[in-house]
Amino acid sequence: MTLRFSPLRLDAAGTLPLWRRPVSLLFVMAFAMPVAFATWSALLNNFVIEAAGFTGVEIGWLHTVREVPGFLAIGVIALILFMREQVLGVVSLLLLGAATAVTAWFPSLGGILTITMLSSIGFHYYETVNQSLQLQWIEKDKAPQTLGWLMAAGSAAALLAYGLLVVTWKTFDLSYNFVYLASGGFTALVALFCLLAYPQFEAPNPQVKRLILRRRYWLYYLLQFMSGARRQIFTVFAAFMMVERFGFEVNEVTALFLINFLANMAFAPLMGKAVARWGERSALVFEYAGLICVFLAYGGIYYLGWGVVLAATLYVIDHMFFALAFALKTYFQKIADPGDIAPTAAVAFTINHIAAVFLPAALGYLWVTSPGGVFLLAAGMAATSLVLALMIPRHPSPGHETIFARLAPAAAE
């Protein structure tokens, strides 16, 4: 059933109060999502080890299940035939919050995998639509700075959640159930507010509502694939290492996450300015070169016996490098036809998650025999991404998507 609202064109949204404008909605959602997701992530490794006795094998399978909805994000194209993108994004955010809230009610392998699947559907469909709305609603010349501030807003929300966890977890002897209910419930309530308090905004360029794959976007597709493969090793195994190898407790893992988001709050707006000034190519080259060094150093923890201080430092640096990933969004915004943004966001999310479906489970088996080998593999992925980033031109545009393309009008495909 289609949800019907009277649409408001973006060029008329300037007459609304500041808090009801499109970019304000993006900021509210950017703040709400990490409260549930960051709390789920902070508690996850301790929760699954204590509640269900997970090892590297089970954690690999959990993250494989978690990434299946990302692989199926292409389904967004079908859903927006019946539901506006904005509504789909808010409903997905609501699902993420509700599923996070009841996570602790299912302390078994089957239960954890099931509730993870539901929360992941909410997370990935929200992220797919949110990326599309950001690129449609934010002007190109303001995109790097605004995306940097949106990232800072998300970091502030995660920082608040982590800060409360660090201060209250042991002080008040909190339970997993209470924390999941509080964080997931907050995100769900904010999603309901977004659904009811904001008008439906109409972007000036109608979106293509079918599957499209354009030859001229090939470099963007490859960068998305490598980003998804590389991200899995950081998301799945870097934090798991802190618990399994160094025995971090919930408050210690959360404190590490807190430091991450403090750094992101400070540096994300500066990174936005840097991308605007130096371009996407330079930003991505810097990110991937840094990640090669970080992943090699992770391997040294296992092969050379380096200690917990270095591991924690690398984790923070790792997280900061990944914050530059929004440069990939602005690269696509510059080369895309305006009507391609929504369907390509869905296709890109699916491409991003191809490796995510099989890598966590496969690497879970490698992890139990050679954890250092997992990080060496990640360094190789970062090196591949670096080579691809060097193919981005200094000033990308339609018809000039790569250094190999001639500066000419893009052919219709």
- In this predicted structure, what is the pLDDT of residue 3? 43
- In this predicted structure, what is the pLDDT of residue 411? 44
- In this predicted structure, what is the pLDDT of residue 412? 40
- In this predicted structure, what is the pLDDT of residue 13? 85
- CA–CA gap between residue 206 and residue 327 (Å, rounded): 24
Report which residue type is found at 88: L
- In this predicted structure, what is the pLDDT of residue 410? 45
φ/ψ of residue 411, rounded to 5: -75, 145
* DSSP string computed for 101-169: HTGGG--SHHHHHHHHHHHHHHHHHHHHHHHHHHHHHS-GGGHHHHHHHHHHHHHHHHHHHHHHHHHHT
Q: How far out from the chain centre does Cα 272 lie?
A: 17
- In this predicted structure, what is the pLDDT of residue 406? 60
* DSSP string computed for 177-245: HHHHHHHHHHHHHHHHHHHHHSPEEE-SSPPP-S----GGGHHHHHHHHHHHHHHHIIIIIIHHHHHHT
- In this predicted structure, what is the pLDDT of residue 198? 94
- In this predicted structure, what is the pLDDT of residue 6? 66
Cα end-to-end distance, the chain, whole Å: 33
Residue 304: CB atoms within 10 A of its CB come to 10
Mean pLDDT of the chain: 86
Q: How many CA atoms lie within 13 Å of 87's alpha carbon, on the beta-carbon side?
A: 17
- In this predicted structure, what is the pLDDT of residue 333? 92
**DSSP bridge pairs for 202:** 9
Q: Is 38 helix (H, G, I), strand (E, B) or coil?
A: helix
Name the stretches of the chain with pLDDT < 70.
Answer: 1-6, 250, 356, 406-413
